[in-house]
Structure 1
Amino acid sequence: MRKLNMAELGRKSVAEVKSSEKIPIIVVLENIRSAYNVGSVFRTSDAFLIEAIYITGYSAKPPHKEIKKTALGAEEAVSWQHFPSATEAIATLRAEGYMIYAIEQVENSTYLHNLDWQPGQRIAMIFGNEVSGVEQTTIGLCDGCVEIPQLGMKHSLNIATAAGVVLWDLVRRTLINETNVKG
């Protein structure tokens, strides 16, 4: 085996990413304390061609040096909007026909692998504060809550890690669907 060099990786330019067809997933960040976590979510969203990030509350937003440090330029390629609150972001998402889920451990949550979502359907995934999670009032506005199964002693993941797990699962389903369609 040999590592691929940058030319072999076929990296897209910012303009190419912006004009690429996106997976209809919107990431909503609610009151994220760490700008590094926000930057990491930008980088993951770029990697998976996610439609957009909605930044809410006091979460840091570009331009910000800590976002830039972890996003490594993805903040220039991924579409984003800021909303004063998650409630306002959810109202916009509802008007645009998105299913809305909080990533949170609640009564009757759905494990990620059991989520009834079909690739191509519009979906928004809300990730909450590093300490308090998604606000209860926000949860009440969602279609449901999705939980990442966790088997060890700790039952929480860093928000950037949780976003990577959730987004990969949804993108993986999209890739499998496309492979099956193409035959």
Structure 2
Amino acid sequence: MDELERLQPEQLKAIEKNKLIVILDDVRSMHNVGSTFRTCDAFAVESLFLCGYTPAPPHRDIHKTALGATETVSWKHFATTQDAVQAARDLGYKVYSVEQAHSSI
């Protein structure tokens, strides 16, 4: 720990993760991707799956927003959403989706 009592990246990687995988599909904004890495880090998410044209690390804009979370959150990039969903199912996860659309609540 440092003087602010924050865990080091190696310590963060070793903590028990929540059995949750987040899948980002076709998210254009590198800032949103970096922010999602930070959120996954804060909630100790097991893994982040990026798919489609969602940008992946290493990239300066992702790292700038992620504030180091790209080093502590396990992630993988998939060519298609179907590949990411199938990988999650193969690992025993139930898949739920959220979409922002005109008819969203």
1:25 is aligned to 2:20: yes
Question: Counterpart of 1:68?
Answer: 63
Does structure 1 residue 96 correspond to structure 2 residue 96? Answer: no
Q: Post-superposition shift, 1:58?
A: 0.7
Q: CA deviation at 1:97?
A: 0.9
Identity of aligned pairs, percent?
Answer: 44
Q: Deviations over 1:109-143 (max 9, x none)?
A: xxxxxxxxxxxxxxxxxxxxxxx69xxxxxxxxxx
Match of residue 171 from structure 1: none
> What SS class does the counterpart of residue 51 from structure 1 fall into?
strand
CA distance in 1, matches of 2:89, 2:45: 18
Do structure 1's residue 57 and structure 2's residue 55 form an aligned pair?
Answer: no
Q: Distance in 2 between matches of 1:103 and 1:12?
A: 32
Gaps of 5+ in 1: 1-5, 106-131, 134-146, 148-154, 156-183
Does 2:3 align with 1:7?
yes
* CA distance in 2: counterparts of 1:92 and 1:55, whole angstroms: 12
Q: Equivalents in 1 of 2:3, 2:81: separation in Å?
A: 40
Q: How far did residue 95 of structure 1 move?
A: 1.1
Q: Residue type matched to 2:80 in 1?
A: S
Q: Which amino acid aligns with 2:81?
A: A
TM-score normalised per structure 2: 0.90
Unmatched runs of 5 consecutive residues or more in structure 2: none
The higher relative CO (CA closer than 8 Å, separation ≥ 6) is in: 2
How far did 1:94 drift?
1.1
| Equivalent runs, 1:34-53 vs 2, <5 Å | 34-53=29-48
* Distance in 2 separating the partners of 1:87 and 1:50: 21
Residue correspondence of structure 1 range 149-160 to structure 2 within 5 A:
none
Q: Distance in 2 between matches of 1:67 and 1:12?
A: 21
Q: Which ranges of 4 or more aligned residues in structure 1 deviate by more than 2 Å?
A: none
What is the root-mean-square deviation of aligned Cα atoms in Å? 1.9
Q: What aligned pairs does 1:130-169 form with structure 2 within 5 A after superposition?
A: none
> SS of the residue aligned with 1:99?
coil
Deviation at 1:44, TM superposition (A): 0.9
Q: Cα distance, 1:21 vs. partner?
A: 0.4
Please identify the structure whose Cα radius of gyration is greater: 1
**How far 1:34 moved relative to its partner?**
0.3
